[in-house]
Each structure stands twice: as structure tokens, then as C-alpha cells.
Amino acid sequence: YWLNKKRMNGMDTSKKMTSKVVGVILFSTILMNLPVLSFAEKCPQTRKTQTTPKEFLTMQNPLPLNEKNLKSAEKLFQEKAKPIACKSCHGVTGNGEGDPDFESTPSARNFTCAATMNKLPDGQLFWIIKNGSKNTSMFAFSDLSDHQIWQLVHYIRAFRK
């Protein structure tokens, strides 16, 4: 009796230990892959939005990339743009994760995704900011001057990683 009890206790302990090890390995595997899974969904972003008029696709930002333009654009992006500050949808860091109460299908553009942003011409970004993007939550910012929009193009490109 004593020998059987000892074997059973030993097996129980062994099973418990194996179960814990398997659990830790499984948890670690899931935890390590979460950032990869999350990032894979956000970059690159595929879009099927309206086509920008051809004359905009060849436009290049006429403003110099300098501290003055970036600071002015930062104020617009983070606070002053109307009808809503850009950060509300695109996030403070431009990662497409804005206000948690903001819902958008498709999700807001992730400006940190170089794979996506490098493919978008300056003129296309200008046109979308000015006119909005049909079938998305992107507003038209038609009250902004062309100068301010070009500043924003520089600013959102600065988020690329």
C-alpha cells in the first residue's frame, strides 16, 4: 500500500510539473508572437480606396523639409486641424491607433508603416487630406490651406519606421 501511494504521489507531482512546464511554454510562445501578429495586421495596410486624380500623383511636396514646417504641422496634427485633430484617428504617434472611442472600417492609416507609406506619392497624400477618402472615415480637411496640407505631408512622412 505504502509503495503504491508513493508511486501515485510521484506520478501526480510529475504530471503537475509537466502540466506547468507545458503551460509556461505555451504561454511564452503566445506572448512572444503577439507583437508579431499585431504588427502583421497593421503593416503593410492594404487599401481599396478611390483613385487620386492623375495630376496629383506626380506632385511633389514643394515645401522644404525643415523644423519650422514640421513644428507647424505638429500643431495641426496634434491639436488644431478641423473638423478634428488628426491624432484623434491616427494616434499621437501616427500608428493608426487614435482615440479608443473612434471606430473606423477600414482602420485609420498607420503612418509608421514604411512599407505602405513609401508607396504613396506626396500628391496622393495631399489630395486625400484635402478631399477625404470615400468609403473610409477620413474627413476632408478643405479648410486647411495648401501650405498647411503640404506641411502635414512632411509631418506624417516623418512617422515612418
> Is the distance from CB of 99 to CB of 91 less than 8 angstroms?
no
Q: Which cell is 39 given? A: 504588427
pTM of the model: 0.72
Cα–Cα distance, 74 to 67 (Å, whole number): 10
**Omega into 53 within 30° of 0, i.e. cis?**
no
The rounded mean pLDDT for the chain is: 81
Q: Which cell is 47 given? A: 487599401
Q: How confident is the model at residue 33 (pLDDT cuts 50, 70, 90)?
A: very low
Cα–Cα distance, 27 to 93 (Å, whole number): 29
Quick: pLDDT tens for 110-139: 999 999 899 999 999 999 999 998 888 898
* DSSP-derived 3-state class of residue 49: coil
Cα–Cα distance, 53 to 106 (Å, whole number): 22
Quick: pLDDT tens for 86-97: 999 999 999 999
> b/e string for 34-54 if b means 16 or more Cβ within 10 A?
eeeeeeeeebebeeeeeebee
User: Who's near 97: CB < 8 A, 6+ residues apart?
Assistant: 91, 108
